[in-house]
Amino acid sequence: MQRRRFLASSLAASALAVEASSQSLFGAQSGGGRDRDYYELRRYHLTGGPQKKLTDAYLSEALIPGLNRLGVRPVGVFNVSIGLESPSVYVLIPCTSVEKLVTLDFQLENDSDYMKAGAAFLKAPASEPAYVRMESSLMIAFEGRPHVAVPAATAKHGARLFELRTYESPSTFDHRRKVEMFHSGEFDIFKQAGFSPVFYGDSLIGSHLPNLTYMLAFESEDERSKLWNAFMSAPEWKKLTAEKRFNFESIVTNVTNQLLNPAPYSQI
């Protein structure tokens, strides 16, 4: 118990340092305030069969209810339809405090309902593990899009498709230029074309840094194709990409693009 408390307090102290530095850096860059979400994006890599069933039960019956009791919502859960290392499940966890976000697992350990509902997943034996590996990244929301936007179709459990895009840059300088590009007109072009963005996150901790990740929602693949065609042909987009501030070199050198389907119990 003392070890868990020590780890939790150490993580909290580290989180406060991350929060202070990130707010100072990104706030100074865009002249904004502190009212922005932090995101943890988890990816559970699975094998077919029992692991998928066990993970779905854990997420729907233990993790999401436990996070909601801590005031963390909406929690998104998405299955990879087209992308890397399928089957995989993504979990998006938004939080207003990075300190709270990085200590969620310790807080959940004190929730008896969570521990009971998640026991089969949390205590899965090595001979029958619950998943192959879990990866996680920590992001801060873009100043211009500070919070998660839940698609209207979610409340009615309507048909929806999600696109998860990650842009890697060759340097921190180029990465900052790409973030600036979103704030200098790219947001508006997305809106004009009819897109429904879910979140935009600037990665603080994770792999393949520096990078940013964002998610878009669609009703169908046909709508996705239609909107991207409208975006790419927009005069405003062509003008923005022609600006010397953004085209002096390849400020994005790798794009990872995945199509996701929401789990039936997803809150996004």
- What is the radius of gyration, based on Cα positions, of the chain? 19
Residues 6+ apart with CB under 8 A from 7: 106
pLDDT at 158 (0 to 100): 87
Q: What is the rounded CA–CA span in Å between residue 175 and residue 252? A: 7
pLDDT at 85 (0 to 100): 79
The CA dihedral of 101, 105, 110, 115, to the nearest 10 degrees, is 130
DSSP 219: S
Q: How much is the average pLDDT of 19-30?
A: 49
pLDDT at 8 (0 to 100): 46
Q: What is the rounded CA–CA span in Å between residue 62 and residue 66? A: 6
26 against 243, higher pLDDT: 243
> What share of the chain has pLDDT > 70, as a percent?
87
Six-digit token string for 50:
């029992």
Q: pLDDT digit string (tens) for 71-126?
A: 999 999 999 999 877 899 999 999 999 999 999 999 999 999 999 999 999 999 99
Instruction: Just give the CATH number of 36-262.
Output: 3.30.70.100
Peptide linkage before 65 cis (omega within 30 of 0): no
Q: What is the rounded CA–CA span in Å between residue 43 and residue 90? A: 4
Q: pLDDT digit string (tens) for 158-187?
A: 899 999 999 999 999 999 999 999 999 999
Six-digit token string for 11:
């993580």
Give the lowest-confidence range in 28-42, 148-162, 171-185, 246-260: 28-42
Please tell me the pTM assigned to this model. Answer: 0.88
pLDDT at 32 (0 to 100): 46
Q: pLDDT digit string (tens) for 131-145?
A: 999 999 999 999 999
pLDDT at 247 (0 to 100): 95
pLDDT at 7 (0 to 100): 44
pLDDT at 157 (0 to 100): 84
Peptide linkage before 125 cis (omega within 30 of 0): no
| The pLDDT of residue 195 is above 50 | yes
Return the closest-CA partner of residue 55 out of 65, 68, 46, 67.
Answer: 46
| The pLDDT of residue 16 is above 50 | no
CB 28 within 8 Å of CB 146: no
26 against 232, higher pLDDT: 232
What rounded mean pLDDT belongs to the chain?
90
Locate the domains of the chain by residue range.
36-262
